[in-house]
Amino acid sequence: MRVDNVLQTIGNTPHIRINRLFGNTHRVYVKSERSNPGGSIKDRTALAMIEAAEKSGVLLPGGTIIEPT
């Protein structure tokens, strides 16, 4: 995958088949959110919140974001 910036990688995480638990009897996949830039599913929420704040005019260029974790 080639992207222009790290934000484009958020949410494009791989689906990985779990083979060892179920063998060939079932096909079970997990979504590997640790592959997000911040290593967490929280990346999706943070991006959505920032984009919404920018769109509504609450967050302007040069504005401050305070993020508690």
Q: Which amino acid is at 7?
A: L
Which residue in 17, 31, 34, 42 is the catalytic one?
42
Statement: residue 69 has pLDDT above 70: no
Nearest of 3, 2, 67 to residue 40 by alpha carbon: 67
Other CB atoms within 10 Å distance of the CB of residue 49 = 13
Mean pLDDT, the chain, whole residue set: 91
User: Tens digits of per-residue pLDDT, 32-48?
Assistant: 999 999 999 999 999 99
d(CA 24, CA 42): 33
The residue-averaged pLDDT of 16-33 equals 88
* 42 tagged catalytic: yes
pLDDT computed for residue 23 by the predictor? 76
Q: Which is higher by pLDDT, 27 or 69? A: 27
Mean predicted confidence (pLDDT) in 5-34: 90
Q: Is 16 helix (H, G, I), strand (E, B) or coil?
A: strand
Residue 59 Ramachandran class (φ > 0 left, ψ -120 to 50 alpha, else beta): beta
Residue spans of the domains in the chain: they are 6-56
